[in-house]
Amino acid sequence: METILSRDHLAHFPAGEIYDGKLVRPFECPERWDYIVDALNSEGFLNQSNPNDLDKEKLLAVHEKKYVDFLKTCWDQWISSGYTGEAIPTIFPVRGLHQDRIPDDIDGKLGYYALAAETAITAGTWQAAQAAAAIAQTGQQRISNGASEIFALCRPPGHHASSNQFGGYCFLNNAAIAAQGMLTDGATKVAILDIDFHHGNGTQSIFYDRDDVLFVSLHGNPKDAFPHFLGYVDETGEGKGEGTNLNLPMNRGTEFPAWVDSLELGLKTIRDYRPDALVVSLGVDTFKDDPISFFRLTSNNYLTIGQLISGLKLPTLYVMEGGYAVEEIGVNTVNVLLGHINK
Task: Give Cα separations from 197 to 147, 259, 282, 340 (angstroms).
Answer: 28, 11, 10, 20
Q: How many CB atoms lie within 10 A of CB 264?
A: 11
Q: Which residue among the candidates 9, 159, 160, 219 is catalytic per the annotation?
A: 160
Q: How many CB atoms lie within 10 A of CB 76?
A: 12
Q: Is 160 a catalytic residue?
A: yes
By DSSP bridging, strand 17-19 and strand 22-24 are antiparallel
Closest CA to 198 of 304, 283, 298, 289: 283
Cα–Cα distance measured from residue 151 to residue 253, given in angstroms and rounded to the nearest whole number: 29
Are the C-beta atoms of residues 189 and 276 closer than 8 Å to each other? yes
Closest CA to 285 of 157, 192, 167, 133: 157
Amino acid letter, residue 163: S
Cα–Cα distance measured from residue 38 to residue 36, given in angstroms and rounded to the nearest whole number: 5
Active site residue ranges: 160
